[in-house]
Structure 1
Amino acid sequence: MLLAVLISNSVGNILVERFNGVPAEERLHWRSFLVKLGADNLKHAKNEELFVASHKSVYIVYTVLGDICLYVVGKDEYDELALAEAIFVITGSIKDICKKPPTERTFLDKYGKICLTLDEIVWKGILENTDKERIKRLVRLKPPTEF
């Protein structure tokens, strides 16, 4: 299960978070842990350079994209490779929406569309869609053509 998708700015303020199957009392711990992890490791990282960590029997894959940091947390069948696939889809979609690696301002200007896109990619802890064109159609609320 994908436990969390978190997006923060470079200072560590949370811009978007999606938790699945994580009790409310543990969410603060995960927020602070992930932001600290990113602050320690993403200072001089290149765009879309992936980092991998493990904590409490879960896997974490995280990266920086422009001025934002993305964290994906998973367990069980969502190991490092599955999380890497998920983060590639998310970063690709964000770049498509913002037309380039986003600044915080660009990200917040496109916030609604980014949230819709995240909901199409990850639904209730499961990686739902990975095809960019299908995600674009679903976000535009047009029916998919193939079944």
Structure 2
Amino acid sequence: MLLAVLFANTDGNILIERFHGVPAEERLHWRSFLVKLGAENLRGARSEELFVASHKSVYIIYTMLGDVCIYVVGKDEYDELALTEVINVIISSVKDACRKTPTERLFLDKYGKVCLSLDEIVWKGMLENTDKSRIRRLIRLKPPTDF
């Protein structure tokens, strides 16, 4: 299951967060842990360079995309390899929504599109869509025609 997808700025402020199957009392722990992990390891990292970590039997993949840090947390069947696929789809969708590598301002300007894309990619803790063109059609809120 995908436990969390978080977007944060370089100062550690959470921009978007999606938790699945994580109790409310544990969410603060995960937020602070992920932001601290990113602050320690993402300084000077290249854009889209992937980092891997594990904590409490879960896997974490994280990266920088412009001025935005992206964290994906999974467990069980969502190991490092599966999370790499998830984060690559998320990166592609964010770049597509922003039309380029986002700055924090551009990311927040396209907040609605990014949220819609994220909802189409991850649904109830499972990877739902990976096809970029299908995600693009779905976020326009038009029904898909390729059944």
Q: TM-score, normalised by structure 2?
A: 0.99
- SS of 2:17's partner is strand
Shift of 1:71: 0.1
The aligned residue for residue 37 of structure 1 is 37
- SS of 1:18's partner is strand
The whole-number CA distance in structure 1 between the counterparts of 2:58 and 2:40 is 19
The aligned residue for residue 133 of structure 1 is 133
The aligned residue for residue 120 of structure 1 is 120
The aligned residue for residue 23 of structure 1 is 23
1:38-57 equivalence runs, <5 A: 38-57=38-57
1:28-76, Cα deviation, whole Å (9 max, x unpaired): 0000000000000000100100000000000000000000000000000
The aligned residue for residue 4 of structure 1 is 4
The whole-number CA distance in structure 1 between the counterparts of 2:138 and 2:100 is 21
The aligned residue for residue 144 of structure 2 is 144
The aligned residue for residue 60 of structure 1 is 60
Alignment-mate amino acid for residue 31 of structure 2: R
The whole-number CA distance in structure 2 between the counterparts of 1:130 and 1:48 is 18
The whole-number CA distance in structure 2 between the counterparts of 1:46 and 1:23 is 33
Instruction: List gaps (5 residues or longer) in structure 1.
Output: none
Q: After TM superposition, what 4+ stretches of structure 1 lie above 2 angstroms from structure 2?
A: none
The whole-number CA distance in structure 2 between the counterparts of 1:97 and 1:117 is 8
The whole-number CA distance in structure 2 between the counterparts of 1:95 and 1:137 is 15
Shift of 1:100: 1.1
- Residues matched between the structures, number: 147
Instruction: List gaps (5 residues or longer) in structure 2.
Output: none
Identity of aligned residues (%): 78
The whole-number CA distance in structure 1 between the counterparts of 2:58 and 2:105 is 32
- Aligned-residue Cα RMSD (Å) equals 0.5
Alignment-mate amino acid for residue 62 of structure 1: Y
1:53-132 equivalence runs, <5 A: 53-132=53-132
Shift of 1:142: 1.5
Q: TM-score, normalised by structure 1?
A: 0.99
Shift of 1:141: 1.2
1:2-50, Cα deviation, whole Å (9 max, x unpaired): 0000000011000000000000000000000000000000001001000
- SS of 2:143's partner is coil
- SS of 1:91's partner is helix
